[in-house]
Amino acid sequence: MSNQSQGLESKEAAAENNSSGASVTNSGLSTGERLEEKENGVVTGEATGEPDYATGLRLILIMITISISGLLTALEIGIIATAIPEITDKYHSINDVGWYGSATFLLAAASSAMWGKMYKYMNVKHVYLASMVFFLVGSVVAAAAPSSSAVIVGRALQGFGASGTMGGSIIVINYVAHPQRHPLLIGIWMSIFMVSTILGPVVGGALTSGVSWRWCFWINLPLGGPITVLLYFALYVPKHIKSIPATWKEIILQLDFPGFAMLLASLVCLALALQRGGQTKAWDDASVIATLVLWIVFTAGFVVVEWFQDSRAIFPLELLKPRMTWANALYNFM
């Protein structure tokens, strides 16, 4: 009997040890679950409590503001089409016709990855507001342009700002709203964006014929100004969303200005070659051949710079390894 009682006591002690060990393990797991996790450089959880996503009126105001900013951006994509003839007649700049539209897209394409880095390392609200300011400044420059070159510069600034606004709108939705609402909210934003793209030429034609082509750009201020102010007060980034801590020196290095310059120069040379070749000059003209050669040189230089930049590159070369990535890029290009 004594042996049996000792055996029972030993079993009970072992059970207690096991249960205490399990409780320690469970406690460790629960603690681990509460630890802040980082995904793509953004903190996605808090040590305590639930993420404080925007809801109700605040979410509605945020969606209204970023939807109107997307509307303005989309309008500018198509609004220039019907204004180009008037601008050309004003400045007698038939050779600049292609640049009124392409300047916006060149800057948008070259700077989109840079804006992504800014959203990653800097305050999301401040970066989004900065993109709106660039867009509005470009609108003022283009509207008050005394020359054709000034219109092109204004359009380029618009493209630079629009790049940050378009990408930033999706980022803001993902940050401020609960994940279950992302498909609906992104769908609403995309619907407004696409409808605005379609209405762009119609609005541009009405403004050009009814008032002046300059109002194709001035129109952004009555809407963009109040929206920027409303964004400043209404845009609330939840506390669980934190940028990656970094010094200003590291942030500047992460923006990869050499890669940006190489990519932009490459795109400009390609646009120049396509503008001149077969239109104002023959394809075998020295200037056309030179721009094509420079396009290849700058493209190769961009690849080399990105290889040396490694993790600081705006376009890490390792992104091309997955078949899905380069297949989608090729599909979008075509």
Supply the pTM of this predicted model: 0.78
168 and 66 together in one domain:
yes
- Check residue 238 and give its pLDDT: 81
Decide if 17 is inside a domain.
no
Alpha carbon distance, N-terminus to C-terminus of the chain: 86
Residue partners of 272: CB distance under 8 A and separation at least 6: 291
Instruction: State the Cα angle at 182 between 63 and 52, rounded to 5°.
Output: 75
Choose one of 211, 239, 254: the last residue of a domain: 254
Same domain, 167 and 263: no
Structural domains of the chain, count: 2
Domain membership of residue 324 (yes or no) is yes
In a domain, 30, yes or no: no
142-173: b or e for each residue (b if 16 or more CB lie within 10 Å)? bbebeebeebbbbbbbbbbbbbbbbbbbbbbb
User: Which phi-psi region, left, alpha or beta, contains residue 310 (left: φ > 0; alpha: ψ -120 to 50)?
Assistant: left
Same domain, 167 and 272: no
294 is a domain residue: yes
162 and 242 both lie in a single domain: yes
Among 234, 254, 274, give the residue marking a domain's end.
254
Q: What gap in Å lies between CA 225 and CA 147, rounded to an integer?
A: 25
Residue 37 resides in a domain: no
**Token digits for 274?**
């396509």
Domain stops at, among 211, 229, 254: 254
d(CA 259, CA 274): 23
In a structure prediction context, what are the per-residue pLDDT tens digits for the chain, which is 334 residues long? 444 444 444 444 444 444 444 333 343 333 333 333 443 344 444 444 577 787 888 888 889 988 888 888 888 888 888 888 888 888 888 888 888 888 999 999 899 889 999 999 998 889 999 999 999 999 999 999 999 999 999 999 999 999 999 989 999 998 888 888 899 999 999 999 888 888 888 888 888 888 888 998 998 998 888 888 888 888 878 877 888 888 899 999 999 999 999 999 999 999 888 888 777 778 888 888 999 999 999 999 999 999 998 888 888 888 877 888 778 878 877 6
**For 78-88, b where at least 16 C-beta lie within 10 A, e where not — what string?**
bbbebbbebbb
Task: Provide the CATH number for the domain around residue 132.
Answer: 1.20.1250.20
Do 148 and 297 sit in the same domain of this protein? no
Short-list 121, 94, 105, CA closest to 279 = 94
Answer whether residue 88 is part of any domain: yes
216, 288: one domain? no
pLDDT of amino acid 3: 44
Q: Which of 242, 238, 181 is nearest to 51 (CA)?
A: 238
Please name which of 108, 105, 89 lies closest in space to residue 97, comparing C-alpha atoms. Answer: 89
- pLDDT at position 138, please? 93
Range(s) of the domain holding residue 299: 256-334
User: Tell me, what's the pLDDT at 76?
Assistant: 84
- Do 311 and 329 sit in the same domain of this protein? yes
